[in-house]
Each structure stands twice: as structure tokens, then as C-alpha cells.
Amino acid sequence: MASHAKVAQKFARQLFAMSVVDGTVSADRVAGVLEYVEKHNVPNPVMVLKAYERLVSIELAKGVAVVEHAGAISAATLAAIESAMSKKYGRAVKARAESNPALLAGMRVHVGDDTYESSVAGQLAALGASV
């Protein structure tokens, strides 16, 4: 079972590598990969596709800045975040707003596995941890 998972993981990585063009995931290539898996007799297709989906979602998350905010957020702010993050990561980063009243005030931005915390809830949590 473990070796099946490893083989599937390795194959998914190869498929993922083929899906990336100029540092970004290409929709056409992904469609091509899905077609290939469907038509050919790929062993453990579910396992392969799940591993492939995980790799693609990690890569896609690097191009999206999820902006959690409490209260209203202007389009200008989102544009400023987009521009700052694109500059920082050296790739196109799209901002997506998500309302989260639990933050109390301020915002929290996620890009890939980086989190930029400037919410009141986050500061209170940090203060609580330091006491």
C-alpha cells in the first residue's frame, strides 16, 4: 500500500511538472493531463489525481492573496495588496477578499503558506501567548 502511494506520488509530481509553464499552472496542460489519465490505463488513478490536485492547489495558492478582513475593504486596498505581493513574490498575485468578523479589525493576508497578520485578533493572540 505504501509503495503504491509512493509510486502514485511520484507520477503525480511528473504530471505536475508537465502542467507548469513559465512558473504558472497552465489550464490547457491540466486539461491534457486529465485527458491522459482518463484515456490511458494509469494505475491507481484516484490516488494519482488526488496527489496531483494537492500539488496544483499548493501552486495555485501561491498566486492568490486571500485577504481576510473585518469590516469593509476598498478596491484600492486590494489593488495595493495585489501590487505589493506581486512585487514581493516576483509573480502575478491576484487578491481575493474574504470577510472574517472574528478578526475584530484589520486584516490577514495569506499567500501560499505565508501569512501576513495585521488584525486585532492576531495581535491579541500574540499578546496572550507572550504573557
Partner 1 sequence: MSTVLEQIEQQIAKLSSKAVKKNTGNIRTVADGVAKIDGLSDVMYNEMVQFPGGAIGIALNLEEDEVGCVILGDVSQLKEGDEVTTTGKLLSVPVGKALLGRTVDALGQPVDGKGPIDSKETYPVEKIAPGIIVRKSVSQPLFTGIMAIDSMIPIGRGQRELIIGDRGTGKTTITIDTIINQAKINKVGLASGDKNFRPVYSIYVAIGQKNSNVVRTISALEAAGALEFTVIVAAPAGDNPANQYLAPYSGAAIGEWFMENGMDALIVYDDLSKHAVAYRQISLILKRPSGREAYPGDVFYLHSRLLERAARLDGKGSLTALPIIETLAGDVSAYIPTNVISITDGQIFLETDLFNQGIRPAVSVGLSVSRVGSAAQIKATKQVGGKLKGELAQFRELAAFAQFGSDLDAKTKAQLDRGSRIVELFKQPAFAPLPIELQVAVLFAMQKGFFDPVDIKKIADAAASLKNFFTTRKDPLLAEVRTKAALDKDLEAKLLAACEEWKSSYAA
From residue 41 to residue 80, the character string flagging contacts with partner 1 as x (rule: CB under 8 A) and all else as - is -------------xx--x----------------------
The stretch among 20-28, 29-37, 96-104, 112-120 that binds partner 1 (CB under 8 A) is: 112-120
Binder among 22, 113, 127, 130 for partner 1 (CB under 8 A)? 113
Going through 48-125 in order, the beta strands assigned E by DSSP cover: 64-69, 94-99, 106-111, 114-119
In angstroms, give the least distance from the CB of 25 to partner 1: 15
In angstroms, give the least distance from the CB of 75 to partner 1: 20
Say how many residues make up the chain.
131
- Residue 83 backbone phi and psi in degrees, to 5: -65, -45
If you search the block for the grid coordinates 484516484, which residue do you land on? 46
Distance, CA of 67 to CA of 120 (rounded, Å): 15
Residue from 93, 103, 111, 112 nearest 73 by CA: 103
Binder among 47, 66, 86, 116 for partner 1 (CB under 8 A)? 116
Binder among 13, 87, 94, 96 for partner 1 (CB under 8 A)? 13
